[in-house]
Chains A and B, each alone.
Chain A
């Protein structure tokens, strides 16, 4: 059975799985931004915390995704079978690039610009929101881009714990040794990753401010 044939016969199901996949990626990346950006900012204000926080985020990255899903299942509240567990795991994966790039983006702001801002009487909050975050935005978005692309890929494995998404076809295809079925899940996931990479890449370049 050809791929096109498969898609035309199962269009409803395909769209449903694409929707689930997008949902997993969007919710998890969004949550990781909400947690990761403030954490990254905090590290620029408390440099002593940098080692421990980045260390912990790093550890999450090194745990194989299937193992992380497995570890989370028995936990109360965040665990169990389904999308919640998958989202928690995806957030943990997405945190490191976002925290690290927020920190790098802000510390990378020209020290003369920062000194001028402080010397002109900006409060720390004004300096952060009017100078450091806008100037670091390109680097922060690069972190979001990496996190999103990784999430699209990792979310396919979330099907193993019943979270749905395009991984459903991949796992099913592996189980019945059907290449068309594997491709039916892998192809849209790959296109989604490329689209996210392209779109966020455009945003990133838009906010890469030229130095003086």
Chain B
């Protein structure tokens, strides 16, 4: 009975914490983006503008929930939910600290990759269902982008899997007791970082959205909380990729003095900040540039990394 209660508590706790962080990121991103661009950002509502999140939530929940008459209604409604659901499902296998984990799947990493691949359906379907040329272009770009990065994203993680000898994220974290995988798997880290930006559809790879070219890309026709779902999904994606980087390459919860959970949050927060810093810095490439970069540069590098890692592990193991 206790075990059931604990696991339910963990599920609810993870859900709440992750959603609160994702909502808080609205404020954090706007403040830090402003800091790095020599502005102030939201600073009116509450101390340091912190209540901006609440104002945004109230606004977005009370907005008219408009479905365009020309849209494909069922798909139009389902699409925003898909992205949130897939990203939240991925959090089920993230080990936040010893014992604080929703499910210790032995195929954890594969599960995350599968869910992230499903997530792109949301964007592609939203673009299709909106029945709007900009949305459709955004959806097409999302699909093309997915073909570009998804392959080397999986490949870049295989080095970690070889070193840890497991797909379970908990075992991967525990395998980094002696040395964090960011050192032996540095190429893998860079590859995954770039793939992560594309996966989270963030600048520099926010190509499906591309405000300056496609109005708002796949969510041009969305308003109210449906748009909010895409928004939350994007921030959840950032948190997920940051948590994955922390768990796969930076020893997850391990660290001196501070409690494990705090270490995990610190590491995750660092990479969230990196996402925001990158948004403040980089321009957006064309999507054919991303696709050819993915296939011609990143995929060979990922394969090379995989072969070299495999060879070394084989040589050392014997």
User: A and B: partners?
Assistant: no
Chain B interface residues (CB < 8 Å from chain A): none
